[in-house]
């Protein structure tokens, strides 16, 4: 059986810039930072006092108030992003598709951290019998996908992928495979996360992975910069509508880009640190290119994982240079980290970064790496698009996501022919 072509026909995003894909993209190309002093936790208790929060988010503006109260914040984000993606793809106008051929893989790395934390406090104060009866369906990571399917009546594949910071990209890749091989005609795919709470911030701080540039929040996330001191936690959701190409054409759908290749590997090295030589990352990208039938010279843009951590930035730069060459050998390759602006959304980050790649292809514009003022000599000689967006004709782009546990995922996107 020949693999079917898969395209993207809808986009939805909730990010530290607010609700909506247009707001997300415009903030990126303007080089704005969505990082600020945290408001949802008591920062006096924390060494890290900054994050990429979705400020002024009122779920009741988008979701029935009674139902919203039964959802963790990550589920609320997922539903809002999915609604934008569904409307963007005009799926509500599609009536002749078998509902068992429309599926959902909208995942989370952590699930309902806030729900878990709130109910633990309730147990300590009032006893275990005072847990909310909705604790489990609010907390478990598969409930974002479940809730989306219930809302729209999508009865096809419904699952999640949990692979730390690679979660969103794995979800898109698995949805891509499902359509390629005929298990679905349409898939909603992406990730959602809401871990800015005492447990989330405290745990990552104890692991010494978070930036402590508390006095300068907008300058804290600085991938590849010599003064980087850790990542900044963000929250939100990204959802994409993936669709079989002929199916999309037949119904006259707007087609943003083609999903052309997917690669996935493991470092098999350490629970937190990446392989210092980046071999897992190299092979993830290599396999994605091979799956797409492309060579390294065919890629004009890489949205890097680029977390602003000491070891991670170096390992990824080695992986990219080893496969693609530096900017002397490959002057047409642009690499940037949008995490410099929105922070690290953990399980949702691959989804919103995939959206950034789609927009870069459509708008002929590469978002910058802000705060890259003094490039670390250990991160190679790549063009990291420092400080300002760059006009470029992007025919093919690659998005990388690498997670704790050494789990790597890469997606190749192409302009539609």
Catalytic residues, by residue number, are: 165, 305, 344
Give me 116's structure tokens.
Answer: 């878990």
Sorted by sequence, the CB contacts under 8 Å of residue 119 that are 6+ apart come out as 131, 132, 135
Give helix then strand counts, H and E, for the chain.
13, 14
> Coil, strand or helix: which one is 19?
strand
Q: Of 14, 116, 26, which Cα lies nearest the Cα of 61?
A: 14
> Coil, strand or helix: which one is 242?
strand
Q: What is the DSSP string of 150-187?
A: HHHT--S-B-----GGGHHHHHHHHHHHHHHTTS-SEE
Instruction: Note whether 39 and 270 are within 8 A (CB).
Output: no
C-alpha dist (Å) from residue 146 to 11, 100, 151, 155, 168? 19, 14, 9, 10, 16
Query: For residues 248-263, b (16+ Cβ closer than 10 Å) or e, as one string?
Result: beebebeebbbbbbbb
Rounded Cα–Cα distance for residues 254 and 91 (Å) = 11
Rounded Cα–Cα distance for residues 398 and 412 (Å) = 5
Instruction: Note whether 376 and 345 are within 8 A (CB).
Output: no
**Residue 184 CB: number of other CB atoms within 10 A?**
25
Q: Of 315, 309, 324, 303, which Cα lies nearest the Cα of 279?
A: 315
Rounded to 10 deg, the angle between the 73-88 and 143-152 helix axes is 40
**Residue 365 CB: number of other CB atoms within 10 A?**
18
> Rg of the chain over CA atoms, in angstroms?
20
């Amino acid at each position: 059986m020949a693999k079917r072509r898969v395209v993207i026909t809808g986009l939805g995003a909730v990010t530290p810039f607010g609700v909506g894909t247009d707001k997300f993209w415009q903030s990126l190309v303007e080089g704005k930072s969505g990082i600020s002093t945290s408001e949802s936790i008591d920062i006096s208790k924390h060494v890290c006092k900054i994050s990429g929060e979705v400020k002024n988010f009122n779920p009741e503006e988008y979701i029935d108030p009674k139902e919203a109260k039964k959802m963790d914040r990550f589920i609320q984000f997922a539903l809002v992003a999915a609604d934008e993606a569904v409307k963007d793809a005009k799926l509500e106008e599609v009536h002749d598709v078998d509902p068992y051929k429309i599926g959902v893989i909208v995942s989370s790395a952590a699930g309902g951290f806030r729900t878990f934390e709130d109910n633990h406090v309730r147990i300590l104060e009032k006893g275990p019998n005072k847990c909310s009866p909705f604790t489990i369906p609010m907390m478990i990571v598969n409930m974002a996908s479940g809730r989306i399917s219930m809302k729209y009546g999508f009865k096809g594949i419904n699952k999640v992928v949990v692979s730390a910071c690679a979660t969103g990209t794995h979800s898109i890749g698995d949805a891509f495979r499902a359509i390629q091989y005929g298990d679905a005609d349409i898939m909603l795919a992406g990730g959602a996360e809401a871990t800015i709470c005492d447990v989330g911030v405290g745990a990552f701080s104890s692991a010494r992975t978070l930036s402590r540039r508390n006095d300068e929040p907008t300058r804290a996330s600085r991938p590849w910069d010599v003064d980087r001191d850790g990542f900044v936690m963000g929250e939100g959701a990204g959802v994409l509508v993936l669709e079989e190409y002929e199916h999309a054409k037949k119904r006259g759908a707007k087609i943003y880009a083609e999903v052309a290749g997917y690669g996935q590997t493991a470092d098999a090295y350490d629970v937190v640190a990446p392989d210092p030589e980046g071999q897992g990352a190299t092979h993830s990208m290599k396999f994605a290119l091979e799956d797409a039938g492309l060579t390294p010279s065919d890629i004009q843009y890489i949205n890097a994982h680029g977390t602003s951590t000491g070891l991670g930035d170096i390992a990824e730069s080695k992986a990219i240079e080893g496969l693609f060459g530096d900017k002397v050998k490959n002057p047409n390759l642009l690499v940037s980290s949008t995490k410099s602006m929105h922070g690290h959304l953990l399980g949702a980050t691959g989804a919103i970064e995939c959206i950034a790649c789609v927009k870069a292809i459509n708008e002929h514009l590469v978002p910058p790496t802000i705060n890259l003022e003094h490039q670390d000599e250990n991160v190679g000689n790549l063009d990291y698009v420092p400080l300002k967006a760059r006009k470029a004709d992007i025919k093919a782009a690659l998005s990388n996501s690498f997670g704790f546990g050494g789990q790597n995922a890469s997606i190749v996107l192409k302009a539609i022919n």
